[in-house]
Amino acid sequence: MSTDTAEPVSTYAPSRDTLGAVLARADRPKRPSALSASLTFGWRALLKIKHVPEQLFDVTAFPIIMTLMFTYLFGGALAGSTSEYLQFFLPGIMVTSVVMITMYTGVGLNTDIEKGVFDRFRTLPVWRPAALVGMIFGDVLRYILAATTIMVVGLILGFRPEGGLLGVLAGIALLVVFSFAFSWIWTMFGLFLRSEKSVMGVSMLVLFPLTFLSNVFVEPSTMPGWLQAFVQVNPITHLVTAIRSIMAGTPDMAETMWTLAASAILVLIFGTLTMRLYNRK
């Protein structure tokens, strides 16, 4: 170890008195509830953001670039003007950016799990999924930050949602719920794959078709039939339709319910698979 320079001349000597007093056996506190343990792990995620704030770059700069780039690239061609296009496009690019950011959950878990600290977490007598749920709680905060960033950029560029503040908040809430559920796919890959590079690779492979082959950028009616078929079953399409309707002030309940149901199913399937891998690791 070459890091020994950090220690001033070590004069520490373990004392039988002070250390012995610490070791005196006291009544153990009751184990925390599942929620409390998860929130504590969420606090850990916040502390990590506090110590390494650069990691917020991908939830602020990346979404801004995505929004600006596509608005000015496609706006004139597809809708005649950028502000016209924005009314259609903004909810979609918000979904695309946030769903793409979910992959960092898997990348982060993969690097985290290689370190010894997860051994300690896994030997604690707490609700087993708490460490992972807490981690995703921290990520949810990043999703909210990214969604808010895009909304602010959109409003500046001329996006005018009919649904008002309430519609915008409800739309973001639905996106966050779906992204929370979607993150469990990446925790599974984060535990399953060997390196963070492979997690990245698989994430891209899934995310690119999922976000681009949807109704985010253009109306599916211009696409060939076979592609329309895919677009129609793509959960991103349903999510975008739901959010567009909510932000426009005319909530499409069917699409919203579809999205919520899809979220529940994602958590059920990938949460279970994740926990199985987590326990076996």
Partner 1 sequence: MTAPAIETAGLIKTFGDNTAVAGVDLTVAPGTVYGLLGPNGAGKTTVVRMLATLLRPDGGSARIFGHDVVREADTVRSRVSLTGQYASVDEDLTGSENLVLLARLLGHTKAQSRDRSAQLLAAFGLTEAAGRQVKKYSGGMRRRIDIAASILNTPDLLFLDEPTTGLDPRSRNQVWDIIRIVVAAGTTVLLTTQYLDEADQLAGRIAVIDHGRVIAEGTPGELKSSIGAGTVHVRLRDAAQRPEAERLLASVLGTTVQQGSDPLALTARAEAGSDQGAAELASRALARLAEAGIVVDDFSLGQPSLDEVFLALTDSPAPQEVPA
Shortest spacing between CB 50 and partner 1, in angstroms: 9
Q: Please identify, using beta-carbon distances, which residue of 43 and 72 lies nearer to partner 1.
A: 43
Shortest spacing between CB 4 and partner 1, in angstroms: 4
| Cβ-based neighbours of 179, under 8 Å, separated by 6 or more | 98, 99, 101, 102, 140, 143
User: What's the one-letter identity of residue 60?
Assistant: T
Shortest spacing between CB 49 and partner 1, in angstroms: 10
Q: Please identify, using beta-carbon distances, which residue of 24 and 156 lies nearer to partner 1.
A: 24
Shortest spacing between CB 107 and partner 1, in angstroms: 15
Burial class (CB in 10 A: 0-12, 13-18, 19+), 260: middle
Q: How far apart are CA 8 and CA 84, in angstroms?
A: 64
Distances (CA, A) of 90 to 177, 245, 256: 18, 12, 18
Binding positions for partner 1, 173-202, rule CB under 8 A: none
Q: Please identify, using beta-carbon distances, which residue of 12 and 226 lies nearer to partner 1.
A: 12
Q: How far apart are CA 117 and CA 200, in angstroms?
A: 23
Q: Is 53 in the site for partner 1 (CB under 8 A)?
A: no
What is the CB neighbour count within 10 angstroms for residue 54? 7
Binding positions for partner 1, 119-138, rule CB under 8 A: 119-126, 130
Shortest spacing between CB 6 and partner 1, in angstroms: 5
Q: Is 6 in the site for partner 1 (CB under 8 A)?
A: yes
Interface ranges with partner 1 (CB under 8 A):
1, 3-7, 10-16, 18-26, 28-32, 36-37, 40-41, 43-44, 47-48, 51-52, 115-117, 119-126, 130, 280
